[in-house]
């Protein structure tokens, strides 16, 4: 009753009835809006450059959602600041389901601990929708280097401290952190060269201007097949199913090493549950689609699915995991 200060004691009952009617009307209007969602195009923000793994996943999902709903899913590459520009844009967007983010371990987990003052909060500012994919990172080198194994690469790096350069898709990204952790655990010193996206850096790796990378497999696999690049090891806990002959980096002598990306969809905090659930249900169908799964595998990406609540827990556990790594290694953004 204290929330109706303008009502006198005699009018409280009528005011309360009016408030109930207004709430019911608002709920009905909201339900109507949710049932017709989407009734216009949806913006799917990818916070990294076109051509990278996150962008590829977003475009595959966007096309399937467009086909299913008959409304255009517009891919918006808003890159920069290690994914923060696109992520912050979505955090501040209206929570109506028409602006979504292709999120990753970088934007939702690593940046929370790596940055002194992150421009958004992974809990407060987002509504998790679904986890859709994961991808191991691989230690990939230019074939001008003589190393044929992880151990040989480590020996080479120790002989030439600071002379071997690796690219990442930006300072503070998963590919950057993967390189830093490798240096720490392998006891070597290499040089980080940040780019705006993995695809942009690939040309420099192919030309030998940078000598190696912790890259998603799909980005480099075509060039491994032609002999221009060589995969020495994968960062997953177990060997990658599509490359069973390639050992993990951990089993190659770098104990405790693990480097995997994950990809999901989130929206601004406050999105109506009905819209979140509708999006999650659609993504579940898409990820289970055999054609989509094969396209993911072709990019070195594992199709996975987790609904909103489970995905929220997954994000939280990732934040905890990388906070420990960043704190232990005393990592700072470049």
Same domain, 99 and 155: no
Backbone angles phi, psi at 113, to 5 degrees: -110, -30
Give the pLDDT of residue 334. 61
| pTM assigned to the model | 0.78
C-alpha angle 137-143-146 in degrees, rounded to nearest 5: 105
Same domain, 55 and 26: no
H or E element in which residue 15 lies: helix 12-35
Dihedral angle sign, alpha carbons of residues 234, 319, 279, 277: positive
Tokens of 159: 């002989």
Same domain, 77 and 16: no
Q: Mark which of 234, 250, 280 sits at the end of a domain.
A: 234
Q: pLDDT tens, 31-81?
A: 445 678 999 999 999 999 888 889 999 999 999 999 999 999 999 999 888
Residue 3 has pLDDT above 80, yes or no: no
Tokens of 273: 């549950």
Same domain, 67 and 214: no
Residue 177 has pLDDT above 90, yes or no: no
- Return the CATH number at 286: 3.40.190.150
Within 8 A by CB and 6+ apart from 209, the residues are 165
Task: Return d(Cα 279, Cα 276) in angstroms, integer.
Answer: 5
Dihedral angle sign, alpha carbons of residues 251, 255, 256, 259: negative
- Residue entry with tokens 């705006």: 196
- The mean predicted confidence, pLDDT, of the chain is 88
Q: Treating both helix axes as pointing N-terminal to C-terminal, what angle do 273-288 and 53-69 enclose, rounded to 10 degrees?
A: 110
- Return the CATH number at 171: 3.40.190.10
Q: Domain span at residue 10?
A: 1-32
Helix-, strand-, coil-residue percentages of the chain, each rounded to 5: 45, 20, 35
Q: pLDDT tens, 156-166?
A: 999 999 999 99
Residue 92 has pLDDT above 50, yes or no: yes
Note whether residue 252 is domain-resident: no
Same domain, 230 and 319: no
Q: pLDDT tens, 261-314?
A: 899 999 999 999 999 999 999 999 999 999 999 999 988 898 999 999 999 999
Note whether residue 253 is domain-resident: no
Task: Return d(Cα 185, Cα 331) in angstroms, integer.
Answer: 13
């Amino acid at each position: 009753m204290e929330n109706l200060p303008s009502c006198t004691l005699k009018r409280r009952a009528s005011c309360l009835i009016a408030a109930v009617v207004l709430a019911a009307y608002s709920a009905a209007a909201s339900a109507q809006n949710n049932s017709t969602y989407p009734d216009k195009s949806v913006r799917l923000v990818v916070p990294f450059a076109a051509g990278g793994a996150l962008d590829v996943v977003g475009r595959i999902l966007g096309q399937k959602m467009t086909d299913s709903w008959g409304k255009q899913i517009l891919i918006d590459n808003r890159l920069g600041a290690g994914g923060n520009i696109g992520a912050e844009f979505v955090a501040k967007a209206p929570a109506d389901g028409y602006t979504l983010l292709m999120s990753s371990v970088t934007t939702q987990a690593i940046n929370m601990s790596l940055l002194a003052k992150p421009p958004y909060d992974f809990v407060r500012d987002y509504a998790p929708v679904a986890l859709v994919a994961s991808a191991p990172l691989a230690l990939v080198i230019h074939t001008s280097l003589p190393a044929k194994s992880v151990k040989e690469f480590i020996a080479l790096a120790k002989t030439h401290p600071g002379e071997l350069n690796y690219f990442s898709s930006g300072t503070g990204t998963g590919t950057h952190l993967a390189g830093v952790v490798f240096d720490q655990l392998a006891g070597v010193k290499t040089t980080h060269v940040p780019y705006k996206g993995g695809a942009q850096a690939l040309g420099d790796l192919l030309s030998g201007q940078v000598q190696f990378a912790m890259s998603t497999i799909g980005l480099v696999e075509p060039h491994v097949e032609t002999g221009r690049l060589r995969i020495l090891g994968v960062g997953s806990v177990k060997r990658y199913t599509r490359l069973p002959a390639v050992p993990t980096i951990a089993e190659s002598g770098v104990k405790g090493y693990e480097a995997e990306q994950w990809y999901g969809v989130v929206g601004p905090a406050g999105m109506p549950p009905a819209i979140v659930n509708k999006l999650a249900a659609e993504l579940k169908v898409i990820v289970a689609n055999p054609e989509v799964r094969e396209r993911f595998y072709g990019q070195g990406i594992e199709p996975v699915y987790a609904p909103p609540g489970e995905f929220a827990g997954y994000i939280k556990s990732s934040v905890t995991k990388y906070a420990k790594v960043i704190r232990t290694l005393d990592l700072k953004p470049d």
